[in-house]
Structure 1
């Protein structure tokens, strides 16, 4: 009899405790996220979350370019098809008011609620801030990171020649002026100093804002319930002219250069310095793909006359106000952002927002660019915060590219940006 009781006790400890510790048993949530290596990894780990909470998760992954339209069609103030939605930072003003402010999220029953201001690295939380509230939980530390070939700056012969020509030491460029000097110098060595982003895509808007901010100006300012175009024409023209100068030392075809072209040139060892998004950096550190692997220094971008500026592009998890499963949705977000889950997700390619993950020695030794992310986030800036951001972005992108590639003069291009953004504001009653 004692043996039977002992056996039953073991069974209870193994299975019974698990059942009683599932506070949401019988609950199903639907989650909408972008599709990449990170969310595939999240999907593969969901069973663990379900076992610990009793929550059944239906995870829908879409290409990031389809997320805006899907969210607009699926989430409103009174109705939602999803209990948790991932939102790209520039579109938080468009959807922010449809989500429960993070301060109103319930405490977790299984996983701990994240403190946005102490648990996350500096700059990340600001990506989810809109109209006086954090609108959700930022889930990644996505920001411009500057990559520089350290083997080039450490080349003794180059150092000697450069110092003779320019009067200062060849090193990681701290300013755009230094980057331009180094680019000119390396052009005689068969090395391109810089690789721009000039595809007709969102990345071109990012480049424009990155340069404007470094030169001490931005496009749009919110004053109470109104908006004002604040782009300083003189500073914006200076920013564009510097970008044009750097492009003189870019690879052939720079006038239509996207991520794939930039990655290829850098991996072939032909480019000295450029920005990169964290999710793409592992490709540069793959010794089978890149001759630059192991030879890259990661930092914040060079400074303009005003400051250093790194474009931020975090994703936020938001709980629609219309969701009927808000507590369960919050629990899933807490699990995703937990240290325990994060350790596995980092190995799958996540750029963590948590300080204790990004700066963990075990990860920094494997992923030295984590320190570059940490540094860059201290200088992070956002794209214009506006409910109809996509229209603002189109105006900036089209005219920035026209000015940079010479289809318009910088003066006309900047005038067009100011005029076009004002027209968008008027269209929406501002």
Structure 2
């Protein structure tokens, strides 16, 4: 009887260990992600995940510009070198059909499966949507947030002078027309009203889409299930471009070639009133060792054009390739990364959370007031064109946008060229 009791206890312990302690023991997954401070922080916490689950994680970090090429050669319909892959939002259409729809992901054994509608803030999940399905799990709340110098809009003397000249209160600009008025006013005070993004990179495409959508027009639209058409309204696109050009008249010298580093420097030196920023860069503006205006910035959704506010969304998702043989373990890792428990630590390392309970947590909002601006912006967020060959469309948009706003050609010519060349991309691929 005694031996029988001992035997039953041992069996119970073995079963319990299998079910609740390291349920995936012996499983190895390969994960491909971009390389930045956030993924370095994730990497530093992986040992805890491995101890909890028994899953060995090979975590490969690459520069974000190399992820696209690596994914293209490593993941196909019938083979994959990775069990979990990070994908930048505009490239979800290119790779989406290679990934298992999120609705088919298994429930977690250790970590709870994330509810895309209830756990995440509004707008985030749309970044992973393609061809009728969510193609993965979004892991950050990346969206344009607008920065405005709060010390300027609360300056009593400025407020009095501005109202006398323009007939309304000086405040955080709600429209681009208001931003233009304020920029004109501040030019007499030695302050630049606006800092554009005009480097010949993806950021210029984002600026173009921000303005086009704000003025009521889009570049591409799906037609039926397997076709696309160019829908850019010339009149609205020209109006958007002319507004951007007008704002650039009140930008710092050298505005025709401004990227992240130039914009950060100008704003941190107190030279600029208002501009957009990506959340991952905002901490540079709140660092007293780098910024003269830390603690004096208001964060919000961007101003509206004649149609709407249209902050650009740029979330990253984790996708499980259809060809992966370790889908359960890969999903478990994604659930861990996106969990409240792990997220609390990752926020401290600079993560912009996609989870509602993290982004709006009082303990984080008090330290990172821009979280509320992200939440507001995501409610208005728009995507870049959803198209399998997005990279080529983006090249057309940014080249012609920059030509128009910098004066190399007229806005009318720039828009005509953009429409013609995007149609050329569609024709190239049989649309």
In the superposition, the TM-score normalised over structure 1's length comes to: 0.96
Q: Where do residues 194-343 of structure 1 align in structure 2 (5 Å cutoff)?
A: 194-224=194-224, 225-343=226-344
Instruction: Give the Cα separation in 1 of the matches to 2:424 and 2:342.
Output: 46
Instruction: Give the Cα separation in 2 of the matches to 1:269 and 1:39.
Output: 31
- Asked whether the equivalents of residues 143 and 312 of structure 2 are also in contact (C-alpha less than 8 Å), the reply is yes
The residue number in structure 1 matching 2:363 is 362
1:125-176 deviation line (CA, Å, top 9, x unaligned) = 0000001000000000000000000000000000011011001010000000
Instruction: Give the Cα separation in 1 of the matches to 2:349 and 2:68.
Output: 25
Q: Name the SS for the 1:148 alignment partner.
A: strand
The residue number in structure 2 matching 1:419 is 420
Q: CA deviation at 1:291?
A: 0.8
Q: Name the SS for the 1:188 alignment partner.
A: helix
The residue number in structure 1 matching 2:169 is 169
Q: CA deviation at 1:348?
A: 0.3
Q: Name the SS for the 1:397 alignment partner.
A: helix
Q: CA deviation at 1:17?
A: 5.4
Instruction: Give the Cα separation in 2 of the matches to 1:41 and 1:247.
Output: 38
Q: 1:398 to 1:201 in 2, by over 3 A?
A: same
Q: CA deviation at 1:223?
A: 1.3
Is it true that 1:130 corresponds to 2:135 in the alignment? no
Q: Name the SS for the 1:227 alignment partner.
A: strand
Instruction: Give the Cα separation in 1 of the matches to 2:298 and 2:88.
Output: 28
Q: Where do residues 75-154 of structure 1 align in structure 2 (5 Å cutoff)?
A: 75-154=75-154
Instruction: Give the Cα separation in 2 of the matches to 1:17 and 1:183.
Output: 65
Instruction: Give the Cα separation in 1 of the matches to 2:48 and 2:351.
Output: 18
The residue number in structure 2 matching 1:3 is none
Q: Name the SS for the 1:380 alignment partner.
A: coil
1:254-303 deviation line (CA, Å, top 9, x unaligned) = 00000000000000000000000000000000011101100000000000
Q: CA deviation at 1:20?
A: 5.7
- Asked whether the equivalents of residues 18 and 52 of structure 1 are also in contact (C-alpha less than 8 Å), the reply is no
Which sections of structure 2, spanning at least 5 residues, go unmatched? 1-8
1:221-247 deviation line (CA, Å, top 9, x unaligned) = 001211010000000000000000000
Q: Name the SS for the 1:311 alignment partner.
A: coil
Is it true that 1:53 corresponds to 2:40 in the alignment? no
Instruction: Give the Cα separation in 1 of the matches to 2:18 and 2:272.
Output: 54
Instruction: Give the Cα separation in 2 of the matches to 1:314 and 1:417.
Output: 26
The residue number in structure 1 matching 2:42 is 42
- Asked whether the equivalents of residues 17 and 23 of structure 2 are also in contact (C-alpha less than 8 Å), the reply is no
Q: Name the SS for the 1:222 alignment partner.
A: strand
1:37-78 deviation line (CA, Å, top 9, x unaligned) = 000000000000000000000000000011110100100000
Instruction: Give the Cα separation in 1 of the matches to 2:340 and 2:213.
Output: 34
Q: Name the SS for the 2:22 alignment partner.
A: coil
The residue number in structure 2 matching 1:400 is 401
Q: Where do residues 173-192 of structure 1 align in structure 2 (5 Å cutoff)?
A: 173-192=173-192
Instruction: Give the Cα separation in 1 of the matches to 2:418 and 2:101.
Output: 33
- Asked whether the equivalents of residues 194 and 272 of structure 2 are also in contact (C-alpha less than 8 Å), the reply is yes
- Asked whether the equivalents of residues 336 and 342 of structure 1 are also in contact (C-alpha less than 8 Å), the reply is yes
Instruction: Give the Cα separation in 2 of the matches to 1:135 and 1:289.
Output: 39
Instruction: Give the Cα separation in 1 of the matches to 2:247 and 2:60.
Output: 42
Q: Which runs of 4+ in 1 moved over 6 A?
A: none
Q: Name the SS for the 1:350 alignment partner.
A: coil
Q: Name the SS for the 1:240 alignment partner.
A: helix
Instruction: Give the Cα separation in 2 of the matches to 1:206 and 1:115.
Output: 29
Instruction: Give the Cα separation in 2 of the matches to 1:420 and 1:312.
Output: 24
Is it true that 1:30 corresponds to 2:30 in the alignment? yes
In the superposition, the TM-score normalised over structure 2's length comes to: 0.96
